[in-house]
Structures are given as C-alpha cells and as structure tokens.
Structure 1
Amino acid sequence: MKEAVDTSPSRRQVLRLAAMVTAWAVATKAPKAEEASKGEGSNAYVPADGVATFESVWQTVRDRFYDPRHNGLDWPAVRERYLPDVQRATSQDSLARVINAMLSELHASHTRFYTPDEPEYYQLADIFAGALRRRGLQSAFPDGRISYPGIGIISGLEATGRNTITGVIDGTPAQQAGLRAGDEIIAADGTAFEPIGSFRGKVGKSVVLEVHRGASVLQVPVMPIDLEPTKMFLRGLESSARIIESSGRRIGYVHVWCYAGSIYQRALESLLSQGALKDADALIWDLRDGWGGAQPQYLDLFNARAPTMQVTDRSGRSEFVNVKWRKPVAMLINGATRSGKEVLAYGFKKYRLGELIGTRTEGAVLAATAFLIGSGLLLLAVEDVRVDGERLEGVGVTPTIEVPAGAASAGSDDPQLRRAVAALSGT
C-alpha cells in the first residue's frame, strides 16, 4: 500500500481499512437442525446463534466431507481450538472469518462458508437450488426467487484490502459502464465498497464508483439491477459471442461464465449452429473465471465422427440435434478456471482438440453440494474426483501455450485472447 506524502492516512487508505473492518449486519437465525436455513428478522448479531451456526457447520463437515479422515485432521480437536474465537465473534463477518479459517485447514477446494453479503451466496444458492429445496431454500428465499442487487462483476478482496475486479460479465451494467478486469474499486457513493452492501436499496439508481485503473482515478457511474444468477450467466454467454476479423479469417469468440447446468451447453450449441457464430472460420472457447459444473460429454461438441441432424416443423422452424464443431478451436484458461471446466480443459489437451492458451487452472476438482446453515451457505466437497484415473485436485491443467494475464479479461488489451486469435488466424 502506498503512503501519502504526509503522515496522515490518505482517503484511499481509510476506505481500504473501512472495507476490511466493516461489520456485516445481516439477519441471523439459530438453526434447528444440521442443515438449517437462513433466517430473516432482526439485524442484530446474536452470539448464541453464531455458536449454533459454527456447531452446525462443524457437524456437517464431520458427517459429509468427502474424506472421513478429514485429510488427517483431528476434527474434534479442531472444533475445540476454534470455539473460543467463535464465542468472541461480534458480527456475522467475524463469525464467517473464524469458520473459514477452520475450513481452510482441510486444504480442500469447494469448501467455504458464504454470507448474504457476498454475490457467491446467491450464485451458489441458484446453482444448487434443486438440492437446497430439501434444505431450507424456501425459508431463505420465501418467494422462490434467488436474486441480489449488483452490477455483474467478479471481484475479490485481497489481503492488502484491495477489492479488484477479475471479471466483467458480458451484458451487465458493469460492462455497459466500461469497468474492466484489473480495476480496483475503492468506494461507492463516497463510502467503502462492498459487493452487495454498496448496491442494496439502490436498484435502478445511479451509484458512483471510485475506481483506480493503473495510475488513474476514475469516477464511474453505474446503475445496479436485480440480478438472477442463472439469467445473468446465460445472458453473459450469449452477449459475449462475437466475430473477430483477423488476416481474412472470421474468428468466433464466446465466454462461458458458468457451466453449472446443461442450459449453457445448449446455448453454446445454438450459437454455433444457427446463431452469431455459425459462419465463423474458427472458435475461441473462453472458460476463464466464473463457475464450473461442466460435464465431460460436453467435449463431444468437437467429435467430428458423428452426424448433426436438423429437424424442421411445418411452420419452418428448425432445430439442430447433436451439434458438432468441425473447424479449428482454441480454449482459454486461467487460474480461476475451476471444477468441471478443468475436466474439459484436461480432455481438450489430452485428446488434442486444439491449443490450450493462458495459465494453469485452479486445481479445484472435487464434487460439492451446498447447505444453508444459520444465515449463511456452506459449500462442501462431498466426493473425490479422478479424470481418466488422474487426480486434478491441487494440480490443475497446464496450457499448451503459456500466456500471462493482462489488464482485462476480454478486449484488444487481453494478451491471452490476442494469442488465441493469432494461433487460429496463422499470424
């Protein structure tokens, strides 16, 4: 963190510090069972409820974690070590920090506790809605609609307190406002930035973000909307599709932000068979950032030894069945390519479907489910995974062409995308 010229803290430092220590005032309800649901009601944090949430998380890990030996941990002893910290917690934020410190000792992907002040809470609730209907989803979302106020960014709070954008989902207010990966959001309407809190109660109203981009400080107005995760990710996929002209070739590009559901694969097939990418000479398949969930059979899209069938009804409406892409293709990956997307990357590389461009994937390849506990959501690894006999957890997939990330995740200043275009256009 840079120091100001004088000895007093700069506004930027103050806002960063505030972002790190701001308490999340969220509703808390003591769980009645192991897989209790998020409650609504008082905004005050109740220590007894925090202890009950901690106990429920600990028990769920004890009973459902994929390794019954808990990766060599004495799990009862772990509970005793963290319980005093839980009893001292004074906010939902501090409780979540203690729980996640405990979970981190398992050294397993797909194992984290999220709160309603994080976009991931809503995104995972939507991804696992089917399972959560048996685990208190209606109590957490009484009208059955999962949504949150936001602008469509993927960001993370670094250890230094920097809240940096790592991805801007296509077709969202963030993209429309010109935000880019690499931007650091310092403040929203003059107060410390919070991914949910800065937009709560402001849907449809302009919010001015203070953004640091390199050496520049920008004031960026953006209008948050009520985001439904599946719709957001699907629109992001469809909105990302475009043609890049290079050396007389038409290079198609599409970014699959989330692969947790066959709806995304069907959308991709539609784009390739009769949508914006049907006349492309080659394809860039971007699997960077976002969520996994992909199934291995999605690679059948590139199996040239099977026919595509077109069926047309009496009105003239056509549909393609068993869509195939028989032209050149390259895949983009990075350190946030995770889970099922890594399975696709592994197969794409092993069976030589095309160049794998970018950086090593995350190495987060365990199968998970979700539990609504207290006022939060526990994502928990419940099954080990091997791909063609190999374990990718903690290992990841290396690219065939290594290209470090640039300042943006899409666009002319994206070196990974630029390298993929060059590879497919022969330049």
Structure 2
Amino acid sequence: MWKDCKGGFGMSEDNGSSKGKIVIKKRSFVMILVLVLLAGALGGAFSYNAYVTKNDFTLIKTEDFETINGVYSKYAKLEMLYNYLNERYYKEIDQGDMMTSIYKGLFASPGDPYTSYLTLEEYEDLMVTATGDFYGIGVTMEVIDNEIVVVSTMDGSPAQLAGIKTGDVIVSVDGVAYGGEKFSEAASAMRGELNTSVTVSYRRDGVVTDVKLIRKKITTQSVYSEMLEGNIGYIRITSFELATAEDFEKELRNMEVSGVSGLVIDLRNNGGGIVDSGVAIADMLLPEGTIVYLEDRKGERVYENSDADCTSVPYVLLVNGGTASTSEILAAAVKDNKGGIIVGTNTFGKGIVQSIEKLSDNSGALRITVQQYFSPDGNVIHEKGVQPDYEVILTEESETDVQLEKAIELLK
C-alpha cells in the first residue's frame, strides 16, 4: 500500500523477490536524483543501482533510498519554492539565471564578500586579471560592508591619473549601479576594448564624482627598479603575479652585485596577489625563521618558513593603506623577524586566503575563504593591518615624497 513518508514522496516496500529494496514513483525519483547528484558534485558520494519495474515506478536499494530521502528532506522546501515561482510568476523565467541565483545565494550565506559562486565567464575574467594582460582602468578593489572599495590603483593607470584613490567607493559604471554582491559584474564592466571609454562614478567623503576614463592595456609586469642618489637602490612591486618573485630576484641580485649601500622596497598601493610569490620574496629578505602561518577552521596550521640564505643589503619597506593581502604577509614577516624597517602608514588589513576551484562540469567555479593568516608572532592581520615602525603620512599637499625621503634617511 502506498503511504507518505517524511520526505514527502510516495513509496512502498517490495515484499516480493526484491527484498531489501523500495519502490518510488518515477517522477519523484527523477527529481530527488537531481538533488542527490547536485550534492555529489559538491563533494558527496552516491552510487545507485535502479531499474523501472513498472511504467511509473522505480526500484532502488533500501540503503540508497535512505540517502535519497535524507537529501530530499533537506531540499524539499527549495523544490517547493522553485515550483511555486515558476508556476506563479507573471512571465516565463530563464531557468539558467534562476539556478545561477540559487548557487550565488548559497555562497553568499556566510556573509563573506570573498566567498562566492562564479559563473564560467566570471571565472575566466578573474583568471585574465591574475595571469594575463587585459584592457581596463588599472584598479584593485575589495568588498567592504557590501560596497566596492578601491584598495589601490596601478602606477600610471587611467584610474590613478583620474585621481581615484584608496578608500574610494565605486558607485556605478556607465550609469549602472553596483553593490558588493555585483563585484564581479562591476569589474567586468570596467574592462573592454583598447582605447574605449568607460564612465566610473565613485564616492569620497559623501561626494559622488563621475570620471570618464579611456581603457588602456593593463600589463602584469609588477617589478620596477632604479638607482637613487647616495648609491641606494629602489625596487617597486606593484602586485604579486606568477613571475614577480623571479623578476624581483633578478633586480635584487643586480643591485647586490653593483654594491648598493641600501635598498628601498616600495609596496605602497600593492593590492596583493599570489601568496607564493610574496612568500618567495620574503625568503630572499629574511634569515631562517617563520614567514607566515595559515590556520583553517579546524585549527590546523600550515607554516611557511625561510631558509638561512638572505640578502645582506639593509632595506626599508614602504607601505600605506593600499598595501594589502600578500603585501601584508611580506610586511608582517619583515617586521616580526626584524629584517628591515617599515615606513609609511597602517596597511589595509586583508588577512584571509581564498581557494578557487573550477567545477568538474566546466560550468563555473567556487571561490571560498579557507584560511586566515597570521604574522610570525601570531598577530592578526585581517581588518587590522600592519603598523609601520615609522609613521609618515603622505598627503596631497606634500610637495615631495616624504615617505621615500624618510626611507633614504634611515639607510644613510
């Protein structure tokens, strides 16, 4: 006899030759199987052996039924809401958009702006900005309090030349408003074809300003160097890309060979990037010791350590409010290990690490905050930043680079 179970679908036990198996209505089976497979795609495991015994019924193993029933019970409300919206909304809804919204809503539930479901297009856009050249305005952004906030601008970029600065809030792009939940869409809107225009509206101190920018090639070159007066070397790191550590090492070795008396390493407005690159550079600057350690939700720690080989050239790091993420790992490591002197202002304060995994079906990717990182002495960096040894404020009224001047003074 058919009866209702807690999961809400009809079933009965087969007391004949199919001992230990359960019969489910075929329509219900198809729906709950989709939910089970979805759960499996996100890391679960399920295998089934089923066959149709009658026109409208499916025979499955009892143990598989228990798995299916548990999944259905968990997601039954979602299925009900899905059907309700499709049946009652006044016009047809794009099913792909609906499912994408469900996935994005799921990953928005932790309230972490760095954890999100990415469509395939968003994932590919993210990979372009991390590993290749593209056309845009040259700005690094993060989500804070559901607003898109500028962390830093790249040297000589359209954004920097237009006066956009750390702390500015992006309000709209080409007249389309964007909040934190639309971060990826806003970033994509800023990119486009070479020499095309884009209008960006940003808020600073309560005043909204519109600026028309011309997209330029944003290159992944991230290390620049020059010699300053007094035989002092200068290396600027604008971001941490795949080749950053290798490029930095070349410049560092050249300066060592030339016999510089000191070195300024400029991390100002460096919004971060690939952690391994920052760790590799820290290893070049520090003697044997801890560079950083990362801790996950279980309290398990992963330590990144430096070996005994390091440069003998005295150095100063320059930092400011646009120094973020991987840059802060480097700054905190130098500070706690007393490898060099830090000059500038308090850094941004992003001390968490994300993992990005592409889905096996190539439909998108998952970006999840998986660890928090701490300085060698165990200091929290996230939402606190790194305090410089010498606080020197560079204002718009400053006629010279007072932070750089302080660094040179300390090296003489």
TM-score (norm 1): 0.52
Is 2:268 the partner of 1:282? no
1:113 counterpart residue number: 117
How far, CA to CA, are the matches of 1:126 and 1:185 in structure 2? 18
Map 1:184-263 → 2, pairs under 5 A:
184-192=169-177, 194-199=185-190, 202-214=193-205, 218-225=209-216, 232-233=219-220, 235=221, 237-238=222-223, 241=225, 252=234, 254-259=236-241, 261=242, 263=243
Of Structure 1 and Structure 2, the greater strand share is in 2
SS at match of 1:291: coil
Supply the AA of the counterpart residue of 1:175.
Q
SS at match of 1:182: coil
CA 1:388/1:204 → structure 2, altered by over 3 Å: closer, same or farther? closer
CA 1:266/1:218 → structure 2, altered by over 3 Å: closer, same or farther? same
Residue 425 (structure 1) shift: 1.8
How far, CA to CA, are the matches of 2:155 and 2:74 in structure 1? 42
Determine which structure has more spread, i.e. the larger CA radius of gyration: 2
CA 1:57/1:346 → structure 2, altered by over 3 Å: closer, same or farther? farther
Q: What is the total number of aligned residue pairs between the two structures?
A: 310
How far, CA to CA, are the matches of 1:284 and 1:267 in structure 2? 13
Of 364, 367, 370 in structure 2, the residue corresponding to residue 376 of structure 1 is 364
Map 1:138-177 → 2, pairs under 5 A:
150-159=136-145, 162-177=147-162
2:107, 2:117 within 8 Å by CA — same for their partners in 1?
Answer: yes
Of 249, 254, 260 in structure 2, the residue corresponding to residue 269 of structure 1 is 249
Is 2:126 the partner of 1:123? yes
Of 284, 290, 296 in structure 2, the residue corresponding to residue 301 of structure 1 is 284
How far, CA to CA, are the matches of 2:328 and 2:323 in structure 1? 10
Map 1:333-352 → 2, pairs under 5 A:
337-338=324-325, 341-352=327-338
SS at match of 1:337: coil
2:55 counterpart residue number: none
2:286, 2:339 within 8 Å by CA — same for their partners in 1?
Answer: no
SS at match of 1:209: strand
How far, CA to CA, are the matches of 2:81 and 2:382 in structure 1? 29
For residues 325-371 of structure 1, give each alpha carbon's deviation from its aligned partner in whole angstroms, at most 9, with x where no partner exists. 60332253769733x555434431232112345247433257x3522
How far, CA to CA, are the matches of 1:395 and 1:183 in structure 2? 17
SS at match of 2:167: coil
Map 1:404-423 → 2, pairs under 5 A:
418-419=402-403, 421-423=405-407
How far, CA to CA, are the matches of 1:369 and 1:395 in structure 2? 22
SS at match of 1:221: strand
How far, CA to CA, are the matches of 1:280 and 1:81 in structure 2? 70
How far, CA to CA, are the matches of 1:216 and 1:384 in structure 2? 34
Give aligned-pair identity as a percent: 18
Supply the AA of the counterpart residue of 1:266.
E
2:62 counterpart residue number: none
Supply the AA of the counterpart residue of 2:334.
F
1:401 counterpart residue number: 389
Residue 223 (structure 1) shift: 1.9
Supply the AA of the counterpart residue of 2:333.
G
2:349, 2:382 within 8 Å by CA — same for their partners in 1?
Answer: no
Residue 147 (structure 1) shift: 6.5
Residue 302 (structure 1) shift: 2.8
Of 325, 328, 331 in structure 1, the residue corresponding to residue 315 of structure 2 is 328
How far, CA to CA, are the matches of 1:242 and 1:92 in structure 2? 52
For residues 267-324 of structure 1, give each alpha carbon's deviation from its aligned partner in whole angstroms, at most 9, with x where no partner exists. 223334448xx7684313417423242364433433589xxxxxxxxxxxxxxxx994
CA 1:403/1:84 → structure 2, altered by over 3 Å: closer, same or farther? farther
SS at match of 2:314: coil
Residue 168 (structure 1) shift: 0.9
SS at match of 2:38: helix
TM-score (norm 2): 0.54
2:301 counterpart residue number: none
Of 165, 168, 175 in structure 2, the residue corresponding to residue 180 of structure 1 is 165
How far, CA to CA, are the matches of 2:323 and 2:314 in structure 1? 27
Is 2:52 the partner of 1:55? no
1:353 counterpart residue number: 339
SS at match of 2:223: helix
CA 1:285/1:53 → structure 2, altered by over 3 Å: closer, same or farther? farther
SS at match of 2:339: coil
CA 1:121/1:342 → structure 2, altered by over 3 Å: closer, same or farther? farther
How far, CA to CA, are the matches of 1:387 and 1:188 in structure 2? 37
2:234, 2:265 within 8 Å by CA — same for their partners in 1?
Answer: yes
For residues 81-101 of structure 1, give each alpha carbon's deviation from its aligned partner in whole angstroms, at most 9, with x where no partner exists. 995699479557733541323
1:31 counterpart residue number: none
1:98 counterpart residue number: 105
SS at match of 1:283: strand
Supply the AA of the counterpart residue of 2:117.
F
How far, CA to CA, are the matches of 2:77 and 2:265 in structure 1? 46
Supply the AA of the counterpart residue of 1:186.
V
SS at match of 1:195: helix
Supply the AA of the counterpart residue of 1:258.
F
How far, CA to CA, are the matches of 1:174 and 1:57 in structure 2? 44
Supply the AA of the counterpart residue of 2:214.
M
Gapped regions of structure 2 (runs ≥ 5): 1-30, 46-70, 86-94, 179-184, 289-308
CA 1:53/1:177 → structure 2, altered by over 3 Å: closer, same or farther? farther
How far, CA to CA, are the matches of 1:393 and 1:86 in structure 2? 41
Residue 54 (structure 1) shift: 11
1:336, 1:362 within 8 Å by CA — same for their partners in 2?
Answer: no
